[in-house]
Structure 1
Amino acid sequence: MMKMQTNHRPYPLPIRPWIMTQTWNDVFFIHWPVDFDDIRDKVPKPLYIDTFNGRAWIGIVPFHITDFKVRDIFSIPFSSAFPEINVRTYVTYNNKPGVYFFSLDAGHWMASVAARTAARLPYFFSKIDVAKKNGIITYKSSRQDTNRLDGEFEGSFSSDHTTYKSEKGSLDEWLTERYCFYTTYRNKLYRCDIHHEKWELQKAEGEILTNTLVSSQGITLPDDKPVFHYASRKKALIWPLIQVRK
């Protein structure tokens, strides 16, 4: 069982048992500041859009999942390993900061369907290629779902290999240390709790060649260079969805 180090969390672990684990690999956090008003109508009203120094943030996070297991049972055969790219912003509800996903692209059809149904999240099936060469990691994704939002992404990224943990109150911490996500279904609000040890981050850089994941949501990113972070590997525990607002 994963060692429960919890002093870095902003609120305690849930009392109820977690139900699954995942390991996240070659995680790149790519972030842009945006105006609060630009995304207010894109996020369900019960959620308050979180800000840092007065700005909201949009993140694109490509990574690949391994060791996707149900607690004490087995690896899930059809989805134990696959790449994913999510588009997200940051929100709070009842003083619990978390993530709100605009979209999640998964490189396995059955995994995307199962996650869309079980987690009530906007998952899409995409062809996602992940390549590593000479210290550069490339993610290339093309959405395969028909009659769904356009979504293409391609970028190449690298890191400086020096790890650090974010300082309390820093932008690094604010962007990466999130321990739940929120979603809605039939006008009801749900939360899914997550736990992992604090990220061992690396400074990173990259080049984005194609990105319609955000514009397909009706959101325009600024021309500013994004803020990059990288983490090589992190095991996470995941709890079942709970309804937090009728």
Structure 2
Amino acid sequence: MVVHAVAPPLSGASLSAQHWENLTFLHWPVEPAAVTEFMPPGVRPDVIDGFTYVALVPFQMRGAGPGGRLPVPYFGDFCETNVRLYSVDEQGRSGIVFRTLEADRLATVLLARFGLGLAYTWSKMSAVHAGDLWRYESARRWPRSGRAPLRSALTIRVGDPVEPTPLEIWLTARWGLHTRLAGRTVWIPNEHGAWPLRSAEILDLRDDLVDGVGVPVAGDMLRPLFSPGVRTTFGLPTVVTG
């Protein structure tokens, strides 16, 4: 499946808009059969050269709000770390399925979890930087599984701008997500500009999230990438299957 680096324009009304800022992308290959069970009905793992992928993506959400125009102070600004898989539906739309979206704003977690069917969890989080260093930390608060909270900690040094490889375009140019909402699988499209990407050197990585959500990696990590971010707009959901 070809994934285009330029987003198709949204049609109709907008669901929401937000800025994704100061992201780090970490990717590992995964055997498709190992994550088929996490795909909603009508969706399968998206595969390139025999593998699908799992990503760990910490970042800062800024100015999120409904309808594409109205950022919501406080509730629209928070730290997030997500674990995402790569999906494709019966209409050939390549997207993302989230295994978890750790966030430190409880009201936003509850709204997205119960209103959009997304796997948001409430966590204690931080994202701080000094010069070219970024440090992201997360410790889950709710819902908990077991006594110890799932944690993630990552420190990187941001490097020079880079041109993405075809695989990196395939991984980062995703123009929608698949989720389960009101008993149906839905596609929620999004649109944003091309990612400005930079190299990233990992200085420290201690993560429970990828393993904690049941995703077994099948090879070495790809090169880490950092982006100062993009502004994105989400369209309204459409049904994939009942």
Q: Which residue in the other structure is 2:223 paired with?
A: 227
Q: CA deviation at 1:208?
A: 4.4
Verify: 1:154 aligned to 2:179, yes or no. no
TM-score when scaled to structure 2? 0.89
Q: 134, 142, 148: which one pairs with 1:145?
A: 142
Distance 1:136 1:119, change over 3 A: same
Verify: 1:180 aligned to 2:179, yes or no. no
Letter in 2 for 1:83: C
Equivalents in 2 of 1:231, 1:72: separation in Å?
A: 22
Equivalents in 1 of 2:171, 2:92: separation in Å?
A: 16
Q: CA deviation at 1:220?
A: 2.5
Q: Which residue in the other structure is 1:113 paired with?
A: 110
Q: CA deviation at 1:128?
A: 0.6
Q: Which residue in the other structure is 1:4 paired with?
A: none
Equivalences for residues 1-246 of structure 1 within 5 A? 8-9=5-6, 12-71=8-67, 74-93=70-89, 94-148=91-145, 150-164=149-163, 166=164, 170-185=166-181, 187-222=183-218, 224-246=220-242
Q: Which moved more, 1:218-227 or 1:83-92?
A: 218-227
SS at match of 2:84: strand
Structure 2 gap ranges (5+): none
Question: Does structure 2 conserve the Cα–Cα contact (< 8 Å) formed by 1:29 and 1:59?
Answer: yes
Give the number of equivalent residue pairs: 236
Distance 1:114 1:148, change over 3 A: farther
SS at match of 2:122: strand
SS at match of 1:127: strand
Question: Does structure 1 conserve the Cα–Cα contact (< 8 Å) formed by 2:157 and 2:200?
Answer: yes
Q: CA deviation at 1:43?
A: 2.1
Distance 1:72 1:26, change over 3 A: closer
Question: Does structure 1 conserve the Cα–Cα contact (< 8 Å) formed by 2:155 and 2:203?
Answer: yes
Report which structure shows greater RCO (CA 8 Å, sep ≥6). Answer: 2
TM-score when scaled to structure 1? 0.88
